[in-house]
Amino acid sequence: MENEQASTADALTFEEKVLQTIVGVALTSIDGLISADGKFLSGMTDDLAQQNHVTSGIEVEVGKEQVAIDLEVVVAYGKDIPQLFAQIQEVVLQEVGRLTALEIKEINIRIVDVVKQDTIEKIKDNQ
């Protein structure tokens, strides 16, 4: 009879904000990639006060074993956008897989704007 008892299933789940933060922090390593609110991802610190900024432009749908990621980003003018797309995919796949073991079902990236160098300099000066 002991073997016939209903077994309890252990589960590890993630809130969407956890995946958003992982993706946001992973993106900080990509030069020229700017979040949807126009601030540089690469210039940020790990300070919790910056957490809302880190997740700006990142939407995720988290399942039990899979995650879908939608990104809206601004790119620095002159950057090779297909190369940035490949870098984003590589970094996100690596970090999400390493930290959560979730399978990434899809990564969708929407470029919402391109920013010229003089505007980038002004943004850096105001941070």
Q: What is the pLDDT of residues 26-45, one digit of tens each?
A: 988 888 887 644 445 554 43
Question: Does the pTM of the predicted model rise above 0.85?
Answer: no
Contact 11, 65 (CB under 8 A): no
**The pLDDT of residue 98:** 96
pLDDT bracket for residue 123 (50, 70, 90): low
**The pLDDT of residue 53:** 59
pLDDT in tens, 77-117: 999 999 999 999 999 999 999 999 999 999 999 998 888 87
Sign of torsion over alpha carbons 80, 74, 55, 102: negative
Residues 104 and 91: their CA atoms lie apart, in Å, by 12
> What is the identity of the amino acid at 19?
L
**The pLDDT of residue 94:** 96
Query: Where is 108: in which H helix or E strand?
Result: strand 103-115
